[in-house]
């Protein structure tokens, strides 16, 4: 060790290097997994959506994927009396009383 280098400086540089290597390895693994899922999705393009794995290879649970579409639209058929009552309610609420 050179005269101007302290133990804490050398240790800090070593720890920082190890953190950078670990982050790079994690990023590479995530990208590899993403490419593999895209290839599988392309292969099963006509078979519907590909379910995401429930756990990663090291056993920790994954974040569930968001739905590509929103919930289905629900409609309720109202009778004429119900429509009139709803119109009266909306009128009262818009008047503020």
Q: What is the pLDDT of residue 97?
A: 59
Tokens of 17: 């290097």
Q: pLDDT digit string (tens) for 36-73?
A: 888 777 766 655 555 665 556 666 666 766 767 776 77
Q: What is the pLDDT of residue 44?
A: 66
> Can you tell me the mean pLDDT for 71-87?
88
Q: What is the pLDDT of residue 50?
A: 55
> Can you tell me the mean pLDDT for 4-30?
90
Task: Output the pTM of the full model.
Answer: 0.38
DSSP codes of every residue in 33-56: HHHHHHHHHHHTGGG-PPPPPSB-
Neighbouring CB atoms inside 10 A of 33's CB total: 14
């Amino acid at each position: 060790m050179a005269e101007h280098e302290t133990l804490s400086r050398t240790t800090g540089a070593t720890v920082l290097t190890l953190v950078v290597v670990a982050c790079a390895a994690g990023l590479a693994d995530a990208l590899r997994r993403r490419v593999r899922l895209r290839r599988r999705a392309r292969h099963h393009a006509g078979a519907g959506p590909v379910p995401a794995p429930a756990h990663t290879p090291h056993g920790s649970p994954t974040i569930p994927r968001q739905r590509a579409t929103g919930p289905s639209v629900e409609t309720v058929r109202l009778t004429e009396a119900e429509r009139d009552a709803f119109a009266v309610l909306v009128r009262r609420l818009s008047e503020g009383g």
